[in-house]
A and B are shown apart, each in its own frame.
Chain A
Amino acid sequence: MMDTMLLDAAEKLFAASLSPAVITALESGADALPLWATLTQAGLADVLISETQGGVGLTMAALFPLARAAGEHGVPLPLIETALLRPLTGTLPDGPMAIASTVAHTAAGWHAPRVPFGAVAGVLAVELDGKAQLVPLKHATRQAHGLDADITLTPETLAVALPLPEGTALAELGALAQAARIAGALSKVLAMSIEHATTRAQFGRKIADFQAVQHQLAELAEAVQLASLAAEMGFVAGRPEKGALMPALAKARTSALAARGAAIAHAVHGAMGIAQEFPLQIFTRALHSARLAHGAEGFWQDRLGAALLSSGQTSADFVDTALTP
């Protein structure tokens, strides 16, 4: 009951504070802090924190509908990454927390490419030399790509880093957040595609009358259903450990479905979907970006395949014991 009230309130807040214009502005470098303040003042970053510590005390399973809704509304901030990390940090750090799951050492410092929401984050959760930590980004070098960014951490930025608990499964947490984002964005592009197909007319009738269009949208609805379940299973399984399989399932399935779903939505929208001023692209770009974030489907399928083969179990037993939350 508490959960549905929270979800309703969050959806209202998303609807009231987000629009294609707001999202596009953030993608173009506008200040993200006012929107972040709105979301955090509503307590949305603290939902996993216990009630005694001023949070809502949601379970990971109960966070999923909120995470999905954030994707559906196109929340252009790492709200879910932050919510997932919050129980591991003390006070709320300065600004939203993005997650980098891989970094490379370069001459300029540690380099993390294409960090999802890296352009609008205030803090980066990253593992360096085996230690998970929170690095404030005020003085980091960033090359923004819309909401994502290539981030370089110089020695000075690292001086102010705060430790995260040992063994924090950053890649898995990041994968869960982006899986839910895909599930939500797929719902959004299905709704937009249905709306478009039932209003756009060609050959004297609405394009939804054409069976080829109907059948593609049926397939998109399947992608919406399957992505939502796969992502939810990842959340229902609870806080992941490093190497966990449920985030791998969530990210492997949603990533593959993101690509198919975006392709169908564009096919149905025709040239209109390609135009920058039409909002479909906000969500299909999110789908592509989220698909690649923290590794696309093949990367996570490798983990699942290795575990299945070494388990010695039948696929049925493996599904029941390892891939059912």
Chain B
Amino acid sequence: MSTPAFAPLSYANLPDSAEALRARIRAFLAPRMAKLQPQVRARSWMGFDADFSRALAGAGFVGLTLPKAYGGAGLDHFSRFVVVEELLRVGAPVCAHWIADRQSGPLIARYGTEAQKAFYLPRIAKAEAFFGIGMSEPQAGSDLSAIRTRAERISDGWRINGQKLWTTYAHRAHYLIALVRTSGTPEDRHKGLSQLIIDLKTPGITVRTIPDLAGDSHFNEVFFDNVVVPEEALIGQEGGGWAQVNAELAFERAGPERIYSSIVLFETWLDALRQRPANAVTQRLAGRLVSELATLRALSVAVTARLAAGESPLLEAALAKDAGTGFEQELISLLADVIAADAPPDLLATLHYLMLVAPTFSLRGGTREILRSMIARGLGLR
């Protein structure tokens, strides 16, 4: 028999060293989350609270995987898993430091110069520097190689012209890591792209918020009109932006982020369920959802274990993300299906909000279709 095209990951435990963090992060969160309504906590990823982020940093929970020499906690992937999991399980407002903690910080730690690391990483770890991700543009969504925003080399730096779109919290962040074209034309596809760290206070930048369908303001259009940034804005290799962005997105797909987006709704529903006599349909549904959650969590730990072993489990991370976001979305419609006429107001408010934003779960960080095509490549189908 030939070797199988796909060998599933085996079960892995979280090590005790990581589990040891759980009680500490829970103790930090309990008093801060108790008073927040579920419809507020359901926003979690989209919840921006700089004071919360700074307190979290003060307790040592930001910059978890950044090196100690730069103010990080120097912890492994498992420890990050536990902390992030606990934050997401209660719907903590993580957005302010979130992007810096999970994407920009690790990117700078990996590709940055000594000066860049010394400048940005301690600020990230103290939750003093918040970041945005400038990848998408009007003509470049799933197809990032179509990027048109251009940075030309000038005598002492770069001059940037163009536009980014859907940039989460660009209106509140301090810096943007933008993927821009430093040579060639959009026809050159992924060649000639580079990443620049841009201070969002630089003259020539206009940020315009785009309210979402739930009435929230988190993402933005960002316009660059002859914006001049210094030479040192370049992060990593000139022309190496494509490879860097893909490494960044791979990191984004691992971890427990892709199973908990609807967890506050699930908890709120369970609370309401316990106030009334059990019914066969709701009891079975509770069992179904918790069995899916437990299995997806185990998959997320298994992926983390591969990362911790120094591997780069691209196929498995894509599988986990696609399956996880499917669960997050399905949970919402399955619970909507069994909502009773006398459901508590907080439960209804949480459900109403999540029904609206559920589609985003399988858009952000690569759409479902893009992920499935990546999986198909991993299976040798293309």
Contact = CB atoms under 8 A, between A and B. Distances in A.
Nearest to A304: B287
A141 interface: no
A321 to B, nearest CB: 11
Interface stretch (B38-46, B119-127, B371-379): B371-379
Interface string A40-80: 00000000000000000000010000000000000000000
Interface in B334-380: 369, 371-373, 375-376, 379-380
A219 B372 contact: yes
B310 interface: no
A308 interface: yes
Interface stretch (B66-74, B195-203, B270-278): B270-278
A198 to B, nearest CB: 7
A316 B382 CA distance: 38
A225 B291 contact: no
Contacts of A222: 319, 322-323, 375
A300 B338 CA distance: 20
B154 interface: no
Contact of B323 (A226, A232, A305): A226
A221 interface: yes
B10 interface: yes
Contacts of B283: 302, 305-306, 309
Nearest to A257: B295
**Main secondary structure on chain A at its contact with chain B?**
helix
Interface stretch (A21-29, A86-94, A159-167, A207-215): A207-215
Given A187-B4, A225-B319, A233 B298 contact: yes
Contacts of B371: 218
B281 to A, nearest CB: 10
Interface stretch (A129-137, A189-197, A278-286): A189-197
A224 B6 contact: yes
B286 interface: yes
B178 to A, nearest CB: 30
B299 A225 contact: yes
Contact of B270 (A11, A219, A226, A315): A315
Contacts of B290: 304-305, 308, 315, 318-319, 323
B252 interface: no
A325 B381 contact: no
B375 to A, nearest CB: 4
Contact of B288 (A232, A236, A297, A316): A297
A225 B381 contact: no
A314 interface: yes
Given A224-B6, A315-B267, A303 B287 contact: yes
A204 interface: no
A215 B369 contact: yes
A252 B376 contact: no
B6 A221 contact: yes
Interface in A216-268: 217-219, 221-222, 224-226, 228-230, 232-233, 236, 248-249, 252-253, 256
Given A222-B322, A222-B323, A306 B291 contact: no
A214 B288 contact: no
A232 B286 contact: no
**Main secondary structure on chain B at its contact with chain A?**
helix
A314 B26 CA distance: 13
B316 A218 contact: no
A200 to B, nearest CB: 12
A230 B11 CA distance: 9
A214 B267 contact: no
A30 interface: no
Contacts of B302: 229
A286 B241 CA distance: 49
Contacts of B381: 194, 197-198, 208, 213-214, 217
B287 A252 contact: yes
A38 interface: no
Interface in B274-318: 274, 278, 280, 282-299, 302, 316
Contacts of B10: 228-229, 232
Given A302-B284, A305-B283, A194 B5 contact: yes
B93 to A, nearest CB: 18
Given A187-B4, A302-B283, A221 B295 contact: no
A34 interface: no
Contact of B8 (A187, A213, A304, A305): A187
Given A217-B376, A248-B291, A314-B270, 12 more contacts: A190-B4, A208-B376, A208-B382, A214-B373, A221-B6, A224-B8, A249-B294, A252-B291, A308-B287, A309-B283, A314-B267, A316-B89
Ranked nearest first, the 10 interchain pairs of A and B with the lowest CB-CB distance are A305-B287, A304-B287, A301-B287, A214-B376, A218-B375, A323-B294, A228-B8, A305-B286, A305-B283, A218-B372
25 contacts: A187-B4, A194-B380, A197-B381, A208-B381, A214-B372, A218-B322, A218-B372, A222-B319, A222-B375, A225-B9, A225-B299, A229-B299, A230-B298, A233-B11, A249-B294, A253-B292, A297-B288, A302-B287, A305-B284, A305-B285, A314-B89, A314-B267, A323-B294, A324-B294, A324-B297
